[in-house]
Structure 1
């Protein structure tokens, strides 16, 4: 019964997370149309430091608290989890307020790190950037409090409050962003800087919506929870320092690995524009490239990553059980399956995005900046494979209680990114940021893959063979897609949104048919996904019948 409740809750939470990510992607299309690429750059100037400080303020609290509360609830000690919850609300309120003050006060000092001599004449002004950072900083007061309430509910294997509050938070945020920016720019003829400043304030408004949902759940369940606390069979009487020592041991690896992408982007934020301006780009050109690289194109490459990890992540929790029980055979099968799903889904997605970068960007963001957007996306698209692979290998290591290697891997990758980013940008212009990100992630993945091989005694022979076959199929798919794409563009040049959409849809259909046909005929798709999609095993059935 408990297992089915946990599985149901996990599925609900996964669906809510996916819905939130989709909402977080879709709104960007009309938002970009309203504020333009320069506005997107300004938006990221505020959001990137906010994301990093938020992660530091919360330190992976929801998952860590849920693990702590679940552990002591299982021991019949509801009192200890409740004490952590009450003290945690105070601690999170203080840490959130401190993070808000830090970001608010440091806003003027951050600007020179981002832009050399910011000017409103050709890009975002000093005051616009300061205003944006300060507006988003207010959300730090509320979000950490939400994180501990969510974690406490999850400790009771109740995922509903987290799921509903996540979706409500995102809906409120997106509606506020689009409504306020449209009103300021289109109705009031206000500046882009003012519109983006209020847009990032949407993080605070959305957080209020999410907090209201959590408080409704709390007051509905408070009586039942307090009854369980009073009826606790035991009380470990842990001191607060002992509780937080245990909590931090759970939280640090979770929070640090989750910071991977924001930290890589933060390095770009403080080096990208300054370096490009130093080699001759104007502020406006540098900001447009940065907006595409860190915002619009970046959002596109997260789509296949979300799909891949949604399918593979269900395997990861079971790895902990297999590793703990020393069931090596089952552990090998689980890791093999996880790797295969990631390879099978993200390699063709990365290749497809790269090949169709121009019609993809034009369809999602319009044709105005398609030359820059398509150019960056073409070379940046393959990183979706590396993002997915690092996320999954880090999760596997956490399941094996070897999370320290995931942290070491991330630190090594960040050092490579930090050391090479300016140099690469100087050599290759805007694509230098892409190259440095590739180098950093390659180093990180080499370490995580090695650690899994060593501590799980995992053999990569089959994965290498399957990976080479998937690469071959993706290469054949790419040839077919390129032919169709170029042929369609001679008839329908990318001069309008409708042309871009038609070119994209037809090219995607052709590419998907080629890849799926090769996967089906070779039975590769059946071997990798057959347990999830039974029809893919059709070839095997025919063979058995004959």
Structure 2
């Protein structure tokens, strides 16, 4: 604050309030740089990290499709039952720590205490290694019990296989936080991409080997999940190579260990990380609900264990496409949090309303046609990606969560920008409770279709609460009347076009008994439908004035020639 000379205690400093020191070429702290060059470096680093996150998520999402194609829906069901469990345990063991390590390292770097930054890394690595070892032990020794709770004893080998990653990821997380604390995003970015590539290559290598020797579904699924272990090892190796390369330019930490100080530092790190950790497990819990309820409820409805896992694999056909839409939304809202935080910090309520309103309107205009398009093209997509029409109704219903997920992401981003970081996690936890209750009510009667409707109910609650809270907190009036109806009307035009396409292509997609699935025809219909739907929606949005010329002109990447063409065709207001 202006005129205030009192020194803020070290443990109360926020990472955003501490200037980040520039990095030298070897990954250690370098000399001072001009502010402009340092700012550009930080922006470039953030962009690199964002691009790496998109690539990693894309690889992680789309690898599920060839996994199902090669291994079948039983293995696919086991994989999708186990992976959310691993994700949640991993979040419990490490979530929040990279950010907290980054915060503490940036504080030490700002004061040019490089040896203290190394000490932060050492202590954090020790704490994380302990939590990782504990979680590994729980997963490895409790694999049969966890599989029994899921109603899927065949999942135990896969649980045991993936547990080894918990011995590697904690130190990997601490090292990433250390480099981010110095503003060097390249090690994290490249290690994320390398980790995903090695994970997928290992998964498919073991998958092909086990299929060749005729292994059972539980062994094949264990090989698929072991890819996470190989990926974590590759990511850690890359980070250690960065560490070794920068050793000459980095002053070592104090060699005399002061246990009392180390314990105090460990407590400080844990106190900062715990709230972030608890908040970050909300989304894995929501996905984990299905792992522990759907296979068990399907068995209670009359399926044996293999049949229940097969049905669970069918239920997961729609998730990669929904996750892809959510990933695109997350990427588009990446800059939303700092932009809204800046507007809120400046006290400019008009700018805050404008930025939040634009973000939420964009989410509605992206999520609505995406959900409608995925639902209407569920049959062709199912044939295209999974060689089957089984599970198409559940896939179509699950597509509706694309809109709800996008609204939840946008609303949560607005709230985080305003400092309300706990509310989105609370809404997701409430949604998880609704998912449990709805699964218990609907799955025994309607099978995986009931699980899909339960997902719609859960995401509707989370997305609705986040959206309502964001609108209220930012002072944005709820979109109503003509404003909301323009996107709805444009989506209706798109849906009419897609219905015409799917109806006309129905004979091409007919699958006589015993005949192979017309996958090529389904691919043509699905991709053609996407292209036609996108074109119709874009033209309708422009013609109805849902997007104005002023908004398009404000986009710096948009050339003037397309604008003149749109005006000449009277498609733009």
| TM-score calculated relative to the size of structure 2 | 0.84
Q: Deviations over 1:350-385 (max 9, x none)?
A: 111000001112111213xx222x221100001122
Q: Which residue of 1 aligns with 2:225?
A: 200
Distance in 2 (CA, whole Å) between partners of 1:425 and 1:523 is: 43
Q: How far did residue 77 of structure 1 move?
A: 4.5
Q: How far did residue 27 of structure 1 move?
A: 2.5
Which of 188-197 and 269-278 deviates more? 188-197
Which of 171-180 and 21-30 deviates more? 21-30
SS of residue paired to 2:395: helix
Q: Which residue of 1 aligns with 2:409?
A: 391
Q: How far did residue 257 of structure 1 move?
A: 4.3
Q: Deviations over 1:127-151 (max 9, x none)?
A: x421111011011110111111111
| Correspondence list, 1:218-367, <5 A | 218-226=243-251, 239-240=261-262, 243-244=265-266, 247-248=269-270, 250-293=272-315, 295-367=316-388
Q: How far did residue 8 of structure 1 move?
A: 0.9
Distance in 1 (CA, whole Å) between partners of 2:107 and 2:458 is: 36
Q: Which residue of 2 aligns with 1:371?
A: 390
Q: Which residue of 1 aligns with 2:133?
A: 97
| Correspondence list, 1:73-112, <5 A | 73-112=109-148
Q: Which residue of 2 aligns with 1:517?
A: 539
The answer to whether the Cα contact below 8 Å between 2:411 and 2:469 also exists between their aligned partners in 1 is no
Q: How far did residue 28 of structure 1 move?
A: 2.2
Q: Which residue of 1 aligns with 2:165?
A: 139
Q: How far did residue 32 of structure 1 move?
A: 1.3
SS of residue paired to 1:226: coil
Distance in 2 (CA, whole Å) between partners of 1:401 and 1:4 is: 26
Label 1:506 to 1:36 Cα distance change in 2 as closer, same or farther (>3 A). same
Partner residue of 1:435 out of 434, 438, 453: 453
Label 1:183 to 1:22 Cα distance change in 2 as closer, same or farther (>3 A). same
Distance in 2 (CA, whole Å) between partners of 1:47 and 1:6 is: 34
Distance in 2 (CA, whole Å) between partners of 1:395 and 1:241 is: 35
Which of 356-365 and 491-500 deviates more? 491-500
The answer to whether the Cα contact below 8 Å between 1:64 and 1:151 also exists between their aligned partners in 2 is yes
**1:473 pairs with 2:498:** no
The answer to whether the Cα contact below 8 Å between 1:150 and 1:214 also exists between their aligned partners in 2 is yes
Root-mean-square deviation (Å): 2.7
The answer to whether the Cα contact below 8 Å between 1:350 and 1:384 also exists between their aligned partners in 2 is yes
Partner residue of 1:17 out of 35, 40, 53: 53
Q: Which residue of 2 aligns with 1:58?
A: 94
| Structure 2: unaligned runs, 5 residues or longer | 1-36, 255-259, 512-516
Q: Deviations over 1:311-334 (max 9, x none)?
A: 121222222222223222222222
Label 1:472 to 1:243 Cα distance change in 2 as closer, same or farther (>3 A). farther
Label 1:464 to 1:246 Cα distance change in 2 as closer, same or farther (>3 A). farther
For these two proteins, the number of residue pairs brought into alignment is 522
Q: How far did residue 428 of structure 1 move?
A: 3.0
Q: How far did residue 302 of structure 1 move?
A: 0.7
Partner residue of 2:235 out of 192, 210, 213: 210
| Structure 1: unaligned runs, 5 residues or longer | 119-125, 231-237
Distance in 2 (CA, whole Å) between partners of 1:256 and 1:249 is: 12
**1:499 pairs with 2:521:** yes
SS of residue paired to 2:246: helix
Which of 53-62 and 417-426 deviates more? 417-426
**1:6 pairs with 2:42:** yes
| TM-score calculated relative to the size of structure 1 | 0.88
Q: Which residue of 1 aligns with 2:68?
A: 32
Stretches of 4+ moved more than 6 A in 1? Answer: 539-543
Q: Which residue of 2 aligns with 1:486?
A: 503
Distance in 1 (CA, whole Å) between partners of 2:188 and 2:299 is: 43
Q: How far did residue 468 of structure 1 move?
A: 2.8
